[in-house]
Amino acid sequence: MELLFAVLGGLLCGAVAHVVLPWRTTRGQLLGPAVGGITAAVLWEALTWAGWQYDATWIWVVALLGAGVVALVTEWFLGRRRTQADTAYYERVKANRA
């Protein structure tokens, strides 16, 4: 049951990452929540296999902060990369027209 709550928390962290970062129009709306949820699930399982207790505070902190950080980094990287690729494509098309 705790895994479900961790994944839901990761989904929320990813959704917040999508909203707070620029370049929203260059990414899919579900990218952040998907990355956050998957990261939270993987971290939660890895930490429970490492022997961390379900009711401990640190497993929640690590799983949710990790999900938020990974979602922020992913969205930041993909947003910048997409903007740069679009600019390069526009310049290439503009140069071929002339």
Take residue 55 and report the two structure tokens written for it: 């009711």
Question: Could you give the CA distance from residue 81 to residue 20 in angstroms, rounded to a whole number?
Answer: 18
Kindly report, residue by residue over 28-73, the tens digit of the pLDDT: 899 999 999 999 999 999 999 999 998 899 999 999 999 999 999 9
Question: Could you give the CA distance from residue 48 to residue 63 in angstroms, rounded to a whole number?
Answer: 11
Question: Could you give the CA distance from residue 46 to residue 15 in angstroms, rounded to a whole number?
Answer: 23
Q: What is the pLDDT of residue 67?
A: 98
Asked whether the predicted pLDDT for residue 96 surpasses 90, the reply is: no
Q: How far is CA 18 from CA 3, 49, 96, in A?
A: 23, 30, 35
Q: What are phi and psi of 53, to 5 degrees?
A: -80, 145
Sorting pLDDT into bands at 50, 70 and 90, what band is 98? low
